[in-house]
C-alpha cells in the first residue's frame, strides 16, 4: 500500500513518522516549501541570530532515507480523486492508495491597495523568512499590520536588528479578542516599553510604493502617512484550500473532517491547519492552527489508518507564547470578557510583568481556566484541576504545586489569597511549602504527606 502525504509540516510529518512505526507500507511526502521538514515556530530565532538556519531541521538529512520515507520537492496542482492520482507542477503524476492532505494555512491578505508591491510579506513559510532578510539591509522602518502572536514576533525580530517598528492594531487593545483587559493592557505597556510604535484602533488603508514597485510607506485609516521599507502582514491565517474548492472534496472554511480525520471521500484524510472538524470537542474550536494540535492529529491519523479506529480528542485547551520576554500560558477556558456565569480572580505583580488569572463558575466556584503571564506553571497540574472541576478554594490553597519554582510561588501565593479574601470576605488557610516530590504525590492522588 502507498500512503501519500501532501505537506511536510508538523501534521504531515507526524503522520509519516507514526505510519512508519506502525507499518511497512510505502510512504511519500510531497512539499514545495522546503527539502526537509522544519520547525516553523523557530523561524524568528534564525532571523534574530539565536539559532542557525540548519538548526530549523529537527531531524538529520539521513533520517528520511533510513526510515524509508520518500520526499518529493514539488507542488500538487490537482487531486484527481476518482483515479487516486495527483498531478504535480513538474508534470509528474503520483498515485496513492491512501491520501493525507496536510497543506497547512496561508496568511490573510484583505485586498489592500498596494499589497502586491515588493516589500510586503507575512511570516509563515521559510520563504517569508528569506524575504524579510532580503529587505532588512538598510531598512529604516518596518510597519507590522495586525496584533496577534505573529505580529508581535515580527516586531521583535525587527527590533533585535534595531529597525524601528510601527504596529497597526485595529482593536482597542492588543489581542483583546483573546486576552482579558488586564493582560491585554500589560502587553500594551510591554510593547511600548520596548520602543515599538504601537497604534491601537488603527487599520491599514493603503500601501504606497515608489516608481520601481517597492514599498515606501503606508496610509492608515486616520489618513496618517508612515514612511517604511517593509510591510509585514500578520492579520491571521486561514486554511490553504482554495485549490481544492472546485473538487468533490467537501469544504467550508477548511477541509471538513470527522473525529477520525476522515473526509467525505474514501481513503482521503486531512490533518493540521487546513482542517475544519465537523463536531469539535467541547471547549475546542473547529479550526485550530496550533503546532501541538497538528502533531496530535498526525499521530491520531496514523493509528486510525493503520492500527485501529482512533478518534481525535485533544483534551483541555492549552497554548503558550511569548510577548518579547513575557511568557504566556493558558489552560482551559479563559474568555476575554467575563459573562454572567463566569468570574475570575486576578493578581498582578507590582512590576507589571507577571500575573495570574483563575477562572471559575460563579455558582459552584469550580475552576475552568488559568492565565499565567511571566510565571511558568505545570501543565499536568492545571489540567488535573480543570478536568476534576476542582473548587477555587482548593486550587488557591494548593497553587504552589503548579509552580516550576517553589521559591517564586512565595511572591504570588499570599497576594492571591488576599485577593480572594477581599472578593469573598473569607480566608483560606496557607499550606506548607510543597517540594517537587510532593507535587508528584499530589498529581497521583496521594496528598496526605503535603498537608
pLDDT, tens only, 172-181: 999 999 999 9
Residue 373, pLDDT above cutoff 80: yes
Distance CA 314, CA 419 (A): 33
Q: What's the pLDDT score for residue 52?
A: 95
pLDDT tens readout for residues 157-172? 999 999 999 999 999 9
- What would the mean pLDDT of 175-194 be, rounded to a whole number? 97
Residue 436, pLDDT above cutoff 90: no
Q: What's the pLDDT score for residue 209?
A: 97
Q: Which residues contact 316 (CB under 8 A, 6 or more apart)?
A: 283, 331, 332, 383, 386, 387
In whole numbers, what is the pLDDT of the chain averaged over residues?
94
Q: What's the pLDDT score for residue 444?
A: 59
Residue 447: pLDDT band (50, 70, 90) is very low
Residue 215, pLDDT above cutoff 90: yes
pLDDT tens readout for residues 266-283? 999 999 999 999 999 999
Distance CA 369, CA 380 (A): 13
Three-class DSSP category at 2: strand
pLDDT tens readout for residues 52-78? 999 999 999 999 999 999 999 999 999
What number does CATH give the domain 120-235? 3.50.50.60
Q: What's the pLDDT score for residue 450?
A: 34
Quickly list H helices, 164-212. Answer: 181-193
pLDDT tens readout for residues 335-365? 999 889 999 999 999 999 999 999 999 999 9
Q: What's the pLDDT score for residue 441?
A: 56
The C-alpha cell of 34 is what? 522546503
Which of 2, 1, 7, 24 is closest to 298 using CA atoms? Answer: 7
pLDDT tens readout for residues 388-420? 999 999 999 999 999 887 677 778 999 999 999
Residue 368, pLDDT above cutoff 70: yes
- For CATH 3.30.390.30, the residue range(s) in the chain are 318-450
Looking at CATH, the fold of the domain delimited by 318-450 is given as Enolase-like; domain 1 (3.30.390)
Q: What's the pLDDT score for residue 408?
A: 73
- For CATH 3.50.50.60, the residue range(s) in the chain are 2-106+238-306, 120-235
- What would the mean pLDDT of 29-58 be, rounded to a whole number? 96
The answer to whether 182 touches 192, Cβ cutoff 8 Å, is: no
The answer to whether 147 touches 171, Cβ cutoff 8 Å, is: yes
Residue 448, pLDDT above cutoff 50: no
Instruction: Provide the terminal-to-terminal Cα distance of the chain, rounded to the nearest Å.
Output: 58
DSSP notation for 243-273: GGTTSSS-BSSSEEE-TT-B-SSTTEEE-ST
Q: For domain 2-106+238-306, is the CATH number 3.40.190.10?
A: no
Q: Which residues contact 435 (CB under 8 A, 6 or more apart)?
A: 406
Amino acid at each position: 500500500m502507498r500512503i501519500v502525504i501532501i505537506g511536510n509540516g508538523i501534521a504531515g510529518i507526524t503522520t509519516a513518522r507514526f505510519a512508519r512505526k506502525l507499518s511497512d507500507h510505502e510512504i511519500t511526502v510531497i512539499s514545495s516549501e522546503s527539502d526537509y521538514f522544519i520547525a516553523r515556530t523557530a523561524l524568528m530565532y534564525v532571523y534574530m541570530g539565536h539559532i542557525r538556519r540548519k538548526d530549523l531541521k529537527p531531524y538529520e538529512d539521513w533520517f528520511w532515507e533510513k526510515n524509508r520515507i520518500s520526499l518529493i520537492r514539488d507542488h500538487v496542482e490537482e487531486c484527481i480523486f476518482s483515479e487516486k492520482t495527483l498531478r504535480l507542477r513538474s508534470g509528474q503524476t503520483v498515485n496513492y492508495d491512501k491520501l493525507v492532505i496536510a497543506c497547512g494555512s496561508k496568511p490573510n491578505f484583505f485586498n489592500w491597495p498596494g499589497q502586491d508591491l515588493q516589500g510586503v510579506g507575512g511570516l509563515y513559510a521559510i520563504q517569508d523568512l528569506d524575504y524579510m532578510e532580503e529587505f532588512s539591509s538598510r531598512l529604516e522602518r518596518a510597519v507590522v499590520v495586525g496584533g496577534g502572536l505573529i505580529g508581535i514576533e515580527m516586531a521583535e525580530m525587527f527590533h533585535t536588528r534595531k529597525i524601528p517598528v510601527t504596529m497597526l492594531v485595529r482593536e482597542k487593545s492588543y489581542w483583546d479578542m483573546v486576552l482579558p483587559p488586564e493582560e491585554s493592557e500589560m502587553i500594551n505597556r510591554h510593547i511600548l516599553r520596548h520602543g515599538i510604535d504601537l497604534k491601537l484602533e488603527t487599520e491599514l488603508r493603503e500601501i504606497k510604493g515608489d516608481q520601481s514597485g517597492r514599498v515606501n510607506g503606508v496610509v492608515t485609516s486616520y489618513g496618517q502617512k508612515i514612511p517604511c521599507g517593509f510591510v509585514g502582514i500578520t492579520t491571521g491565517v486561514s486554511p490553504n484550500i482554495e485549490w481544492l474548492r472546485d473538487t468533490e472534496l467537501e469544504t467550508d472554511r477548511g477541509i471538513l473532517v470527522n473525529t477520525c480525520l476522515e473526509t467525505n471521500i474514501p481513503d482521503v484524510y486531512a490533518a493540521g491547519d487546513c482542517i475544519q472538524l465537523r463536531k469539535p470537542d467541547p471547549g475546542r474550536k473547529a479550526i485550530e492552527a496550533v503546532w501541538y494540535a497538528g502533531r496530535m492529529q498526525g499521530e491520531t491519523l496514523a493509528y486510525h489508518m493503520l492500527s485501529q479506529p482512533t478518534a481525535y480528542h485533544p483534551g483541555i485547551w492549552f497554548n503558550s507564547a511569548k510577548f518579547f520576554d513575557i511568557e504566556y500560558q493558558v489552560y482551559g477556558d479563559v474568555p476575554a470578557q467575563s459573562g454572567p456565569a463566569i468570574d475570575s480572580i486576578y493578581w498582578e505583580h507590582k512590576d507589571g510583568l507577571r500575573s495570574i488569572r483563575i477562572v471559575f463558575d460563579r455558582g459552584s466556584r469550580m475552576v475552568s481556566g488559568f492565565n499565567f503571564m511571566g510565571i511558568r506553571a505545570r501543565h499536568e497540574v492545571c489540567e488535573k484541576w480543570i478536568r476534576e472541576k476542582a473548587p477555587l478554594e482548593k486550587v488557591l490553597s494548593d497553587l504552589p504545586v503548579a509552580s516550576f519554582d517553589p521559591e517564586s510561588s512565595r511572591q504570588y501565593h499570599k497576594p492571591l489569597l488576599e485577593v480572594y479574601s477581599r472578593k469573598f470576605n473569607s480566608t483560606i488557610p496557607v499550606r506548607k511549602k510543597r517540594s517537587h516530590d510532593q507535587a508528584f504525590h499530589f498529581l497521583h492522588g496521594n496528598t496526605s504527606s503535603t498537608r
